[in-house]
Amino acid sequence: MPAMHYVQARGILSARNGMNLYRGCQHGCIYCDSRSACYQFSHPFEEIEVKQNALTLLDDALRRRRKPCMIGTGSMSDPYMPLERELRYTRGALEILARHGFGAALLTKSPDVLDDLPLLRAIHEQSRCVVQMTLTTCDEALCRRLEPHVAATHARFEALKALHEAGIPTVVWICPILPFLNDTEENINGLLDYCQQAGVWGVVTFGMGMTLREGSREYYYRQLDRLFP
The secondary structure of 195-224 as a DSSP string is HHHHT-SEEE-TTSS----TTHHHHHHHHH
Average pLDDT over residues 66-85: 94
Give the pLDDT score at 100: 97
Give the pLDDT score at 207: 83
- In single-letter form, the type of residue at position 10 comes to R
E strand intervals along the chain? 4-7, 18-19, 22-23, 48-51, 70-73, 103-108, 129-134, 170-173, 202-204
Q: Partners of 40 in the beta sheet?
A: none
User: To the nearest whole percent, how much of the chain has pLDDT over 90?
Assistant: 95
Q: Which residues contact 212 (CB under 8 A, 6 or more apart)?
A: 220
What is the Cα–Cα distance from 142 to 127, expressed in whole angstroms? 38
Digit-coded pLDDT (tens) for 165-218 = 999 999 999 999 999 999 999 999 999 999 999 999 999 998 889 999 999 999
Among residues 100, 111, 122, 118, the alpha carbon closest in space to that of 17 is found at 100
Q: Partners of 8 in the beta sheet?
A: none
Q: Where are the domains of the chain?
A: 4-227
Domain covering 4-227 assigned CATH 3.40.50.2000 in the classification = no
Residue 184 has a CB neighbour count (10 Å cut-off) of 14
Digit-coded pLDDT (tens) for 97-125 = 999 999 999 999 999 999 999 999 999 99
Compute the mean pLDDT over every residue in the chain, rounded to the nearest whole number: 96
Backbone angles phi, psi at 139, to 5 degrees: -85, 105
pTM comes to 0.94
Residue 1, pLDDT above cutoff 60? no
Length of the chain: 229
* Contact call for residues 26 and 83 (beta carbons, < 8 A): yes
* Contact call for residues 93 and 54 (beta carbons, < 8 A): yes
Q: In what order do the strands lie in the sheet with 129-134?
A: 18-19, 70-73, 103-108, 129-134, 170-173, 202-204
